Amino acid sequence: MLGLSVFAIAEGVCFVFDWGRPTDYADPFVGFSTIRRLFVLDQSGAQSEIPQSRRNFFAAESFPASKEKNTFRVFCLGGSTVQGRPFSKETSFTIWLELSLKAADDSRDWEVVNCGGISYASYRLVPILQECLAYEPNLFILCTGHNEFLEEREYEHVKYASSVVKRPLEALSQFRSFTLYREALFQATGKTSNPDVTNQRVMKAEVDALLDYRGGLQLYHRDEQWKAEVMRHFEHNLRHMIAIARDAGVPLMMIRPPSNLCDCPPFKSQHRDGLTPAKIREWEVLIEQAKRHYRSDLQRAIQLLKQAIEIDEEFAFTFYELGKCYETLGLREQARDVFSRAKELDVCPLRILQPMEHVMAEVAEATSTPLIDAHELLERNCPKGILGDSLLVDHIHPTFRGHQMIANALTEEMARRRWVKPADDWQAKRSRAYQSHFDSIETIYFLHGLETVKALRKWTRGRVDGPP
């Protein structure tokens, strides 16, 4: 105990003098050419707002620059799902959450700030979260995972610790004294804590998605090493943001984003490596035979598709077709399994991958971070029992009802944690508030959203009129 007390004293001294803060280090995976503030003061100086220059990616949003004492301020960070695409924030879960909180507990002033950026991946959310610490947040809500593969970036410069030392290092890195010791060691040896930072991939100030370019879909190819590195970066960003929030004393909640399984075919399928022309022809014959049985004999079609999968177990669309056969026959579990497999094999992964979902759950458990599983929540309310078009308008974005369900789940979790204290009649009051807000939205808003749906579907299939 006497020996351990030395480390406890050292940690206490570091805390008092604010030395060795673990969150004060650069992202070892990527850097940015420029980091621009998301919020600026308006002309009056009374409101913090997202400037016009950022509104190609963010919806118009503002909040009082001077926070009132009774205000509970929530910042929601993520991609287009948070923003409410293909519509906008007026029907996103952030608006419904604010209405829900106001209906539940009128003893506080509730502010829910939408920081959802179109195509924004987790690494682009880190500086936004850091910036928002200056605006007196009471809670962060993080919903991310779908956009990790949109931008081109390399990881050759990143050096990974062996699995034997990874977990102990992660544990030690939470201590200020260890961080300070590590920095001192690097300086003594003439190195930096990020020895390869000069070789980082420098990202543009705003998203430069591959699919924004003509033929962008053709740039996607199966690359398991790159996929693994992207997922490592995703885990790093989750842990980093949770650590930043915890270090500032601000609670954080995570949302596992939903994915359309049964009504969204893979965006790009690719044959496995080493498949000979003869085997490809054999596979093609089986697929054509299966198609001829779709209307007359689904059991035979299933057999043929399985034979095709034996030849090529990596072609994503075959699994999707098999899933549709199972779905038609009412075989829900088999259908969900192969739909999920089709998503995982998609060479253009625009939906969060299963290993990333597992990482999110593991990080949430390890850090005691509340996690709302929006996919499971919506799927429980689907008529077919598999998440699809009934609650998603496309491959990932919830319907209006889906956004309301997410907001309701967030409110319930906040109530469990005593951040909100609902009144007895609050749910009926919430329903009236939802309907009143929905009725107040002009028709042009919905028409514009429908046009965005069409454009988004072209974008996901690589058919855009972007730069050459």
pLDDT of 25 over the 70 cut: no
pLDDT of 17 over the 70 cut: no
Say if CB 149 and CB 349 are below 8 A apart: yes
Q: What is the mean pLDDT of the chain?
A: 88
The predicted model scores a pTM of: 0.85
pLDDT of 399 over the 80 cut: yes
In terms of CATH, what superfamily is 277-345?
A: Tetratricopeptide repeat domain (1.25.40.10)
Q: What is the pLDDT of residue 184?
A: 59
Say if CB 339 and CB 386 are below 8 A apart: yes
Domain 33-154+231-264+353-460 has CATH 1.10.150.20: no
Q: What is the pLDDT of residue 436?
A: 98
pLDDT of 172 over the 90 cut: no
pLDDT of 387 over the 80 cut: yes
For residue 288, what pLDDT band results from cuts at 50, 70 and 90? very high
277-345 matches 33-154+231-264+353-460 in CATH topology: no
Alpha-carbon distance of 11 to 9, in angstroms, equals 5
Q: Range with the lowest mean pLDDT among 3-17, 36-50, 268-282, 289-303?
A: 3-17
333 burial (CB, 10 Å; 0-12 / 13-18 / 19+) is exposed
For residue 283, what pLDDT band results from cuts at 50, 70 and 90? very high
Q: SS3 string of the chain? A: CHHHHHHHHHHHHHHHCCCCCCCCCCCCCEEECCCCCCCEECCCCCEEECCHHHCCCECCCEEECCCCCCEEEEEEEECHHHHCCCCCHHHCHHHHHHHHHHHHCCCCEEEEEEEEECCCCHHHHHHHHHHHHHHCCCEEEEECCCCCCCECCCCCCCCCCCHHHHHHHHHHCCCHHHHHHHHHHHHHCCCCCCCCHHHCEEECCCCCEHHHCCCHHHHCCCCHHHHHHHHHHHHHHHHHHHHHHHHCCCCEEEEECCCCCCCCCCCCCCCCCCCCHHHHHHHHHHHHHHHHCCCCCHHHHHHHHHHHHHHCCCCHHHHHHHHHHHHHCCCHHHHHHHHHHHHHHCCCCCCCCHHHHHHHHHHHHHHCCCEEEHHHHHHCCCCCCCCCCCCECCCCCECHHHHHHHHHHHHHHHHHCCCCCCCCCHHHHHHHHHHHHHHHCCHHHHHHHHHHHHHHHHHHCCCCCCCC
pLDDT of 152 over the 90 cut: no
Say if CB 371 and CB 256 are below 8 A apart: yes
pLDDT tens readout for residues 246-273: 999 999 999 999 999 999 999 999 999 9
Boundaries of every domain in the chain: 33-154+231-264+353-460, 277-345
Alpha-carbon distance of 155 to 59, in angstroms, equals 32
For residue 36, what pLDDT band results from cuts at 50, 70 and 90? confident
Winning range, highest mean pLDDT, from 34-38, 155-159, 363-367, 463-467: 363-367
Amino acid at 24: D
pLDDT tens readout for residues 185-222: 545 554 444 443 444 456 677 888 888 877 788 999 99
pLDDT of 371 over the 90 cut: yes
Share of the chain above pLDDT 90, in %: 74
* Mean pLDDT across 426-448: 96
**Token pair recorded at residue 93:** 């879960």
pLDDT tens readout for residues 221-235: 999 999 999 999 999
